[in-house]
Amino acid sequence: MSWSDLSDWWVAEIEDDPAYEAAVNPMLLDVLRPDAGLTYLDLGCGEGRVMRALKGTGAVVHGVDLTPALARRAADSGPVVIGRLPDLGFLRDDSYDGAFCVLALEHIEDEGRLFAEAARAVRPSGIFALVINHPFRTAPGATPISDSDGETLWRPGDYFSSGTTLEPAGEGQMLFHHRNTARILESAAAVGWYLERFVEVPHHELDDQAGIPRLLACRWRLLP
């Protein structure tokens, strides 16, 4: 299914989802540390949940998203281009102070090109912030399992591979691109992103999965 088929489902899904306020937005703000007056690009902005959170900081935010119905909603919080990542050819070099990508990298096949395009569109010493579902959690075949004592353990699946999985989404399925953490870090480093922060957290609600990483966030600075 395409994101356009799933746009109504996604809007309903995150409307009441406490994870954004409790975990996703605080993580992004923690690694991005946006400065008032500086301009940031939201890569895969969806319906604008994160753009809205950033507005309160005084930062200026522009968005890019593939899905017109979502981009239209996000446009309440700033200019949004309908475009297919990783292509950012419509942007001039060095036009942003920073870029960020929240829960969208998993849907982009060529993460190396996304890091390269962001490195071109962001000025030297600018920032790239990322929040993703932890690759340990989204690896093909990865799943929680309960042992006979009721303890939750983790089956790691095929963590070390790269590839795609189809995951349930709304009435259909959505394609996810899996790559392990080393590949993400190497893809970013290869085009000049210097890692400044690396944060892993468990699920904010599930105490029995407190030892299992749920979200991963990074902050990189572009080498001058």
Ligand X SMILES: C[S@@+](CC[C@H](N)C(=O)[O-])C[C@H]1O[C@@H](n2cnc3c(N)ncnc32)[C@H](O)[C@@H]1O
Q: Which residues bind ligand X (CB under 6 A)?
A: 3, 14, 44-46, 49-50, 65-67, 70, 84-85, 102-104, 107-108
Whose CB is nearest to ligand X?
46
Residue among 2, 157, 131 at smallest CA distance from 66:
2
Q: Which two tokens stand for residue 157?
A: 């699946």
Nearer to ligand X, 43 or 188 (CB): 43
Q: CB of residue 108 vs ligand X: minimum separation in angstroms?
A: 5
Nearer to ligand X, 113 or 152 (CB): 113
Q: CB of residue 65 vs ligand X: minimum separation in angstroms?
A: 5
Nearer to ligand X, 108 or 152 (CB): 108
* Cα 20 off chain centre by: 12
Phi and psi for 125 in degrees, rounded to 5? 70, 5
Nearer to ligand X, 3 or 193 (CB): 3
Q: CB of residue 155 vs ligand X: minimum separation in angstroms?
A: 24
Between CA 218 and CA 9 the distance in angstroms is 28
Q: CB of residue 208 vs ligand X: minimum separation in angstroms?
A: 25
Nearer to ligand X, 39 or 77 (CB): 77
Between CA 222 and CA 18 the distance in angstroms is 32
Q: CB of residue 145 vs ligand X: minimum separation in angstroms?
A: 26
Q: Is residue 21 within 8 Å of 27, Cβ to Cβ?
A: no
- Bin 92: left if φ > 0, else alpha if -120 < ψ < 50, else beta: beta
Q: CB of residue 1 vs ligand X: minimum separation in angstroms?
A: 12
Nearer to ligand X, 65 or 111 (CB): 65
86 prior amide bond cis, ω within 30: yes
Residue in this structure with the two tokens 């895969």, named with its chain if needed? 44
In sign, the C-alpha dihedral spanning 175, 72, 110, 212 is: negative
